Structure 1
């Protein structure tokens, strides 16, 4: 088979492929359609349930059956995404208007996952069946082939309310994200009706009808004045607070009871919120909280924060707003697929698209219904006419050899081959001109239809059909009449499904916390060999001094408001607030040092801790740095007085490591020891002072393959004995030599 090689630029192929992929993700997965407010997976799941006839008033069906059917027919992207979409559509804490009625464990507001799909059952919610899928049988939307062209699926569902506003949406596509808040059904319907009556309505006027989001978790929106710009542009940030009350309890104490949470807090963030409160207590940000308990149940949210007697409850509540997710932000980006392309829309354009869609649905619906009524009219007229000449028709039927002959006579007046009782009957039969549809209805007619009452009922049905034809024609010929029908339908939906607003919208001043000054005390920071750190006060340390010195790898004496500085062998310094470390009893386990300060990347499982001291002590000292490649320098401690949590304390050459950081006092000497037992003692004052960003100077000439293993700092007259193989070297008695020499062999 001949093949053709097409030569093209690689960049062009990549660009085209990436754009195709991006548009596929945007249009076919992540971004909802502005018309029905649904993503493809949601739309396909609901349509499959409609096809399976899992109606709201019928028994539940296994979720696995629904998911499998949806995946096999319409959504070949894996069962997990379909089941996740099904689960979310059942959760009343995530959706203002749940579209699926779930039976079984479909998760909780606290982030518990749903049970496996083989255990749960589901059926359509009444609102989904009546408002979202009700007109699918009336040719109101186009159907398109599914992924393998063996089935047809609706391009969009005939949703009669702006679902994109009512249930909101969120999704991450390629290069764009959508995040649409949820709104109150009744208010949104009123907004649609207002737009239909006045298409020139502006955003400010619309916000008087739809004042803002209405989240299923309630809460308080605190930046009401920002909503006009957000709903004009479709982009912005909404600040939400949880609803909390201060209650008095016995013993003269008070407690904060949280009954509503910000919408972004649902799920695992509730647990994180409780942990954040624990952290406030552990870090001594507040001493007023004595206990926290989550007493939430199926009846609603109830988180209790108990306070000590005499605590300022309002100040503690403000602290929770400032330091935890009890006050959170909902990022708005009202991105939707409109006219086949993604577009960020304000609230009025969204409603405009919805209303245009409703007019389209209404036109197609009543065109379909008008056609059906006209067909019915044709048949009714034929039956009424047949009743007037029923004797002749019976004579034709009795005289015909087969149905085809009888039908030909009824439609075309062909009488050949038919036996008539008289010539007049034959002439009358030749004059019959029924339509094909009328003739078939006559042939299918049962004899009981000839009863007098039945004939009267037929005439009544005909009058009713004529009235419907007149009504439908009037609706189709007048946009004003069509608007009345749409508005009447919306009002009926509002009456049945609307509920009270849950979210309060107001302008609330920012929470102000009066932070009490922390009492300054002397403490000891204990770091054990497993890199766990804890803080104890000095009386506690003194009582347990022997055990502390035995069990701790490092002990740092400082103030509780100070920082500790940790120098590692990779040349970094990590500054950690003492207040970030757990303060308590001597036998408390402590906390891993690498998790104490957010943003710090210290990892003592991969880095060696060379030196540690308080920031207050370091900035008043001169620090000696030494590396295994014998590079040394002195740095003023003030250079390490920085606000950053991690800095480079010294510059290192490739494959070099810091082996010494220590305080160098005037008159001290420095002794360097190499792996090959070479020692060099020099005066500390001969080591040049450098910046922390410098490499330093060579301290000792090393032989081939040799490196420094220890550097000792000796005070004036001080001596240290060092074991070298089978002998002891008193390094304080070594002759003082010049820097950058070989030293002596020991």
Structure 2
């Protein structure tokens, strides 16, 4: 029989919208966000449950992580092994979790960002707290079990976690269009907060913060904005400012050093290396001259980053510089988003605890209903056995007179004496009055003879009394909410006694770090740059002693102030500003730094045309000339800008700057073209323009011709140019008009 093909016509945008929403909700609910009840993401929940099922308890030997990951992926979490192993590793890292849930054996990574070893090398087992507070009571029908992805197994919808794990361990996750970021908190404080809520469900955020003072990061550190925490915990959104702990230690020779013993939680991993690089940069860019050396001496015992200071350095001021310019003070963005009642919700501190306590009452109700049902079953059987001991001779007579178990059981339950031979009518009459329940009858038939020993009967009576006591206790718990609350709080007290620890993070109000830059002592220096582009500054006295060598060996020699700036003009029409302080200051024979390294100038892409001191330039006018013979004068004040690179002139396509020089009185310039055309004009015939202008025509060039040189003629000895082995004295050239063809030489 052929099946007809069914085609559903629908709007494409509607299909896309529905599909994307389905995908987004799947990521949000089933992957990225934790459940407010157990504070776990599905991958964490499934991994812990699988370890529980595999029997990898805290008191059993470690098992290979590859086995745990493979079993979890095959049974419960078909999303790839790396996500499962990553979750397993994080749950074992003490520097990431306030309360590690997995006991790792082997290389599980480091606080400095080193990754864990491959899963085939590492081993793991559950922590004792995980066994006691996260996975206990799973056999008491406390949570619902749902089918796994292929319906071959059952997995818990949520773990019966007895502590607010969402607060204790925090959470991080990026979903679709939303993300969660919850800091870890102190285990003991959170339990005190839960108890305070149970005693007063109307408790305010401010009142509960007397118990939960703020986040408690595994890496310690100092929270500096205590006053803002109330708003953050009220709304579930905000920014917590965290800074590392720095100790100032005196060393020999009157020097001091900074010892960083605790870091912000956000610095975990690669950010420690970035912090070290940032400190190097502060030294290289001369933001500080007080740091002599930095070394990372961290080990398994803890963080220890040592910064050596020069003698006389202001250690506290340098501390403030590190807070301002590096990750030593950072911001932890809080967004307490979790899945509550099947949908994502941003929750404050009290609502999170409210959801947790509600969940605890649900767990306790289901647990004690299950225990009560078991005790009632035991009570029924015990009562039957006690009655049986009183009429044991009659029961033995019934059993000996019965042809089969069915007849004997029928007699015990319903008093049916047919098909049973009795020794006396009196026995048959007593037997007809028996009315044991089916469970009691079965227990009697299965009872062994040694149970009739006197001591065993006494033990049975004691056991019955215990059962009656348990039944009364469980019924009291189930009917009185206050009794149930006491049971929950007693359990929490036990967990706190065994697993709480001292707070690591200090909560305080700290003023923002203020760094006072030391004012540089202003002095005149001499800027030197050799023909290879290496530049430095030396003091004036050193220059005067080596004047002849300095002038002959260097391409540029400038007198300037150490607080000033150097202007570098290039053929691309750009001007690069360079702070004199960024140049190495030292001895005359020091090599210096390539000018590329201390400025935006790139010698591989542009050619240096002219260098001058900005202070001097502001009192002058500059003359620009390009290879297409465009000329202009620009007021030097226009180059006093903040940007490190700015356009010094506007260029047409395929044009380039070939000449930049200060304008002097009675100055003339000579333009020389590739086709040996020369034109000499007076500099004062060139108009002054803005730096963003192209300029005016200085010389009419023939087709295919361009300027190769422009010479400035002043009071100095004029240059002599060789053209086809013939000397041309530039000062003897006739002064012509601008924008003419010039003369052929």
Do they superpose with TM above 0.5? yes
- 1:2 counterpart = 2:1: no
Mapped partners of 2:178, 2:656: distance in 1: 46
**CA apart distance, 1:67:** 1.8
Residue aligning to 2:192: 190
Residue aligning to 1:265: 267
CA contact (8 A) 1:240 1:328 kept: yes
Classify 1:320/1:450 alpha carbon distance in 2 versus 1 (closer, same or farther; 3 Å): same
Mapped partners of 1:723, 1:419: distance in 2: 147
Residue aligning to 1:42: 44
CA contact (8 A) 1:396 1:406 kept: yes
Residue aligning to 1:366: 368
Residue aligning to 2:26: 24
CA contact (8 A) 1:720 1:731 kept: yes
Classify 1:714/1:427 alpha carbon distance in 2 versus 1 (closer, same or farther; 3 Å): farther
Structural RMSD (CA): 4.0
CA contact (8 A) 2:286 2:582 kept: no
The correspondence of residues 587-736 of structure 1 with structure 2, limited to 5 A, is 593=596, 615-616=614-615, 619-620=618-619, 622=621, 635-649=634-648, 656=654, 658-660=656-658, 662-663=660-661, 665=663, 667-669=667-669, 671=671, 673=673, 689-694=688-693, 710=708, 712=710, 714-716=712-714, 718-719=718-719, 721=721
- 1:537 counterpart = 2:543: no
2:272 alignment partner, SS class:
helix
CA contact (8 A) 2:103 2:126 kept: yes
C-alpha offsets along residues 316-335 of structure 1, whole Å, 9 cap, x if unaligned? Answer: 33333333333332222222
Residue aligning to 1:141: 143
Moved more, 311-320 or 68-77: 311-320
Classify 1:554/1:723 alpha carbon distance in 2 versus 1 (closer, same or farther; 3 Å): farther
**CA apart distance, 1:572:** 5.3
Classify 1:247/1:455 alpha carbon distance in 2 versus 1 (closer, same or farther; 3 Å): same
**CA apart distance, 1:402:** 5.0
Residue aligning to 2:487: 485
**CA apart distance, 1:282:** 3.4
Mapped partners of 1:579, 1:556: distance in 2: 14
Moved more, 220-229 or 244-253: 244-253
Mapped partners of 2:266, 2:441: distance in 1: 65
2:108 alignment partner, SS class:
coil
CA contact (8 A) 2:293 2:307 kept: yes
The correspondence of residues 544-583 of structure 1 with structure 2, limited to 5 A, is 559-565=561-567, 573-580=575-582
| Aligned with 2:174 (options 169, 172, 184) | 172
CA contact (8 A) 2:668 2:713 kept: yes
CA contact (8 A) 1:662 1:713 kept: no
CA contact (8 A) 1:671 1:731 kept: no
Moved more, 204-213 or 317-326: 317-326
CA contact (8 A) 2:628 2:707 kept: no
Residue aligning to 1:284: 286
| Aligned with 2:388 (options 359, 364, 386) | 386
CA contact (8 A) 1:720 1:730 kept: yes
Residue aligning to 1:215: 217
**CA apart distance, 1:737:** 7.3
**CA apart distance, 1:487:** 1.2
C-alpha offsets along residues 370-419 of structure 1, whole Å, 9 cap, x if unaligned? Answer: 22222222232333333334344444445555555554554455555555
Mapped partners of 1:661, 1:130: distance in 2: 82
CA contact (8 A) 1:101 1:123 kept: yes
Residue aligning to 1:113: 115
2:47 alignment partner, SS class:
helix
Mapped partners of 1:204, 1:265: distance in 2: 29
C-alpha offsets along residues 315-368 of structure 1, whole Å, 9 cap, x if unaligned? Answer: 333333333333332222222222222222221222222211211222222222
The correspondence of residues 307-322 of structure 1 with structure 2, limited to 5 A, is 307-322=309-324
Residue aligning to 1:505: 507
Mapped partners of 1:423, 1:544: distance in 2: 141
Mapped partners of 1:215, 1:690: distance in 2: 62
Mapped partners of 1:465, 1:709: distance in 2: 111
Mapped partners of 1:72, 1:353: distance in 2: 32
2:345 alignment partner, SS class:
strand
Mapped partners of 1:728, 1:15: distance in 2: 82
1:251 alignment partner, SS class:
helix
The correspondence of residues 39-438 of structure 1 with structure 2, limited to 5 A, is 39-400=41-402, 402-404=404-406, 406-412=408-414, 417=419, 421=423, 425=427, 428-429=430-431, 431-438=433-440
TM-score, normalization by structure 2: 0.85
Mapped partners of 1:554, 1:149: distance in 2: 81
CA contact (8 A) 1:96 1:183 kept: yes
Mapped partners of 2:699, 2:575: distance in 1: 25
**CA apart distance, 1:115:** 1.9
**CA apart distance, 1:131:** 0.9
The structure with more radius of gyration = 2
CA contact (8 A) 2:668 2:681 kept: no
Mapped partners of 1:409, 1:711: distance in 2: 129
Mapped partners of 1:429, 1:191: distance in 2: 62
**CA apart distance, 1:57:** 0.9
CA contact (8 A) 1:630 1:707 kept: no
Classify 1:553/1:28 alpha carbon distance in 2 versus 1 (closer, same or farther; 3 Å): farther
Classify 1:593/1:362 alpha carbon distance in 2 versus 1 (closer, same or farther; 3 Å): farther
**CA apart distance, 1:657:** 6.2
* Residue ranges of structure 2 left out of the alignment (5+ in a row): none
**CA apart distance, 1:214:** 1.6
Moved more, 572-581 or 309-318: 572-581
Mapped partners of 1:178, 1:560: distance in 2: 51
CA contact (8 A) 1:362 1:482 kept: yes
Classify 1:269/1:418 alpha carbon distance in 2 versus 1 (closer, same or farther; 3 Å): same
**CA apart distance, 1:193:** 0.9
**CA apart distance, 1:293:** 3.0
CA contact (8 A) 1:623 1:661 kept: no
* Residue ranges of structure 1 left out of the alignment (5+ in a row): none
Mapped partners of 2:11, 2:143: distance in 1: 41
Mapped partners of 2:627, 2:393: distance in 1: 121
**CA apart distance, 1:238:** 2.2
Residue aligning to 1:463: 465
1:238 alignment partner, SS class:
strand
TM-score, normalization by structure 1: 0.85
C-alpha offsets along residues 243-298 of structure 1, whole Å, 9 cap, x if unaligned? Answer: 22333333333333332222222222223333333333333333333333333332
2:331 alignment partner, SS class:
strand
**CA apart distance, 1:628:** 7.3
**CA apart distance, 1:114:** 1.9
2:87 alignment partner, SS class:
helix
Moved more, 55-64 or 353-362: 353-362
1:46 alignment partner, SS class:
helix
Mapped partners of 1:23, 1:134: distance in 2: 30
Mapped partners of 1:169, 1:447: distance in 2: 59
**CA apart distance, 1:420:** 5.0
Classify 1:580/1:163 alpha carbon distance in 2 versus 1 (closer, same or farther; 3 Å): farther
